[in-house]
């Protein structure tokens, strides 16, 4: 067994056998502190309690404008997000959930038909596949085949994080979106923490330094990603808090679009965009990230990257984009989010 396999086996044993529900977690790192947005609470209430009890996410990466989309949930676990999203993609869309842990998938699969019925579908629009997020090709997931990839508190667990991001980039369609919530650190963790089995399994040991995340995304093909929200992880276990101190951890929700024309900093082409108020459940405003909230009907000056993100993706029919890149006015100051770890993507 290779080193990589041994680490994956440990994680699989943790999520398959050590944990039987939320109460077995040793820290609050994989306990979602971001509640599901209000419009989706009614969907959440239709999801079986057994699925919810084995939910170990650190956020709520529920993308907007999903009707008809094919969504891939990496490390879907017992399927909370996959089912929530299955209600949003509608009968013409589909959700593929990937997880390596049999026990987690058993829960997800057990409810497939009942959940479909609850959402009013004649047939399940979910498909749960057992395998590794580092090798999606082995699961038959083709290049350029996925509209949106979501992931909730999983990529930190991978011993090969660059490979995971490369796979995500490969399977996304041009214009496709990655929306993930994960645990990140304010520094590179020393080997003694990275190799600590308990810290790894609890989503802390594998937390990537945010600036290394930025570099990795840039090198993979995402020169600009956006932080949607972030919150500090308190850990909630004094022994483990001492072990990791003084490192600080954050749950960050980020989005990145597969768009070849994105640049590594914000540039001013004199463009403005107006949100039309047509994304389901977002009649008054739409927040692209933590410093771009578009009010319905109100034009907003944006950089070239932001114009491309809303104008050349599935969001395009919900926006009016004025101007193109024919005239350049220099660097654009998008401004960063006020507080938190240093990186806020490129914008």
Ligand X SMILES: C[S@@+](CC[C@H](N)C(=O)[O-])C[C@H]1O[C@@H](n2cnc3c(N)ncnc32)[C@H](O)[C@@H]1O
Residue 193 beta carbon to ligand X: minimum distance, rounded to whole angstroms? 18
**Spatial separation of the C-alpha atoms in residues 226 and 253, rounded to whole Å:** 9
| 249 lies in the binding site for ligand X (CB under 6 A) | no
Sign of the alpha-carbon dihedral angle for 10, 164, 315, 306: positive
Compare residues 57 and 223 and give the one whose CB is closer to ligand X: 57
In the numeric block, the tokens 């509640």 are attached to 35
Compare residues 128 and 257 and give the one whose CB is closer to ligand X: 128
Residue 152 beta carbon to ligand X: minimum distance, rounded to whole angstroms? 4
| 8 lies in the binding site for ligand X (CB under 6 A) | yes
| 154 lies in the binding site for ligand X (CB under 6 A) | yes
| 177 lies in the binding site for ligand X (CB under 6 A) | no
| 345 lies in the binding site for ligand X (CB under 6 A) | no
Q: Which two tokens stand for residue 91?
A: 């009968």
Q: Which stretch binds ligand X (CB under 6 A): 76-84, 242-250, 286-294, 338-346?
A: 76-84
In the numeric block, the tokens 């009614």 are attached to 42
| 104 lies in the binding site for ligand X (CB under 6 A) | yes
Give the CA angle between residues 221, 143, 347 to the nearest 5°. 25
Residue 79 beta carbon to ligand X: minimum distance, rounded to whole angstroms? 8
Q: Which stretch binds ligand X (CB under 6 A): 95-103, 172-180, 212-220, 287-295?
A: 95-103
**Spatial separation of the C-alpha atoms in residues 184 and 322, rounded to whole Å:** 36
Q: Where are the beta strands (DSSP E) in the chain?
A: 70-74, 94-99, 126-130, 146-152, 172-185, 208-209, 226-233, 249-257, 271-275, 285-289, 292-295, 300-302, 319-322
Q: Which stretch binds ligand X (CB under 6 A): 73-81, 235-243, 268-276, 294-302?
A: 73-81
| 84 lies in the binding site for ligand X (CB under 6 A) | no
**Spatial separation of the C-alpha atoms in residues 23 and 43, rounded to whole Å:** 24
Q: Which two tokens stand for residue 267?
A: 């540039």
Compare residues 12 and 318 and give the one whose CB is closer to ligand X: 12
| 153 lies in the binding site for ligand X (CB under 6 A) | yes
| 217 lies in the binding site for ligand X (CB under 6 A) | no
| 57 lies in the binding site for ligand X (CB under 6 A) | yes
Task: Please give the residues from 16 up to 35 whose contact with ligand X meets the rule CB under 6 A.
Answer: 30
Among 133, 254, 315, 341, binds ligand X (CB under 6 A): 133
Residues 6+ apart with CB under 8 A from 328: 267, 268, 269
**Spatial separation of the C-alpha atoms in residues 284 and 297, rounded to whole Å:** 9
| 128 lies in the binding site for ligand X (CB under 6 A) | no
Q: Give the residue among 50, 39, 123, 35 at the shortest CA–CA distance from 80.
A: 50
Binding residues with ligand X: total (CB under 6 A): 26
Distances (CA, A) of 182 to 15, 150, 151, 214: 16, 11, 8, 14
Helix ranges (H only) for 209-258 are 210-220, 238-244
Compare residues 181 and 227 and give the one whose CB is closer to ligand X: 181
Compare residues 31 and 316 and give the one whose CB is closer to ligand X: 31
Compare residues 85 and 309 and give the one whose CB is closer to ligand X: 85
In the numeric block, the tokens 């290779």 are attached to 2
| 97 lies in the binding site for ligand X (CB under 6 A) | no
| 275 lies in the binding site for ligand X (CB under 6 A) | no
Residue 13 beta carbon to ligand X: minimum distance, rounded to whole angstroms? 10
**Would you say how long the chain is, in residues?**
347
Q: Give the residue among 117, 55, 59 at the shortest CA–CA distance from 87.
A: 117
Compare residues 52 and 316 and give the one whose CB is closer to ligand X: 52
Interaction site with ligand X (CB under 6 A) = 8, 11-12, 15, 30, 55-57, 75-77, 80-81, 99-101, 104, 132-134, 152-154, 157-158, 203
């Amino acid at each position: 067994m290779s080193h990589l396999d041994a680490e994956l086996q440990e994680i699989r044993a943790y999520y398959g056998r050590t944990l039987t529900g939320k109460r077995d977690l040793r820290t609050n790192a994989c306990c979602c502190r971001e509640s599901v947005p209000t419009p989706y609470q009614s969907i959440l209430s239709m999801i079986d309690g057994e699925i919810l009890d084995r939910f170990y996410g650190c956020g709520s990466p529920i993308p907007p404008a999903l009707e008809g989309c094919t969504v891939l949930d990496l490390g879907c676990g017992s399927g909370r997000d996959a089912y929530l999203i299955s209600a949003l993609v509608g009968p013409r869309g589909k959700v593929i959930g990937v997880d390596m842990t049999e026990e987690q998938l058993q829960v997800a699969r057990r409810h497939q038909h009942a959940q479909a019925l609850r959402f009013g579908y004649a047939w399940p629009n979910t498909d749960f596949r057992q395998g590794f997020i580092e090798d999606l090709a082995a699961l038959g997931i083709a290049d350029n085949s996925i509209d949106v990839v979501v992931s909730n508190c999983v990529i930190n667990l991978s011993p090969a994080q660059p490979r995971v991001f490369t796979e995500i980039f490969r399977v996304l369609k041009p214009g496709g979106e990655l929306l993930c919530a994960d645990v990140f650190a304010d520094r590179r963790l020393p080997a003694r923490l990275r190799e600590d089995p308990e810290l790894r399994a609890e989503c802390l040991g594998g937390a990537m330094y945010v600036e290394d995340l930025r570099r990795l995304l840039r090198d993979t093909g995402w020169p600009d990603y956006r932080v949607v929200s972030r919150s500090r992880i308190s850990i909630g276990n004094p022994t483990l808090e001492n072990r990791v101190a003084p490192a600080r951890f954050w749950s960050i929700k980020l989005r990145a679009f597969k768009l070849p024309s994105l640049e590594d900093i914000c540039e001013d082409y004199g463009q403005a965009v107006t949100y039309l108020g047509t994304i389901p459940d977002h009649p008054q405003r739409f927040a692209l990230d933590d410093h771009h909230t578009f009010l319905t009907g109100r034009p907003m000056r944006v950089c070239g990257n932001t114009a491309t993100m809303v104008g050349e993706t599935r969001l395009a029919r919900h926006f009016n984009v004025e101007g193109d890149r024919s005239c350049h006015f220099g660097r654009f100051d998008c401004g960063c989010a006020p507080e938190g770890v240093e990186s806020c993507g490129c914008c």
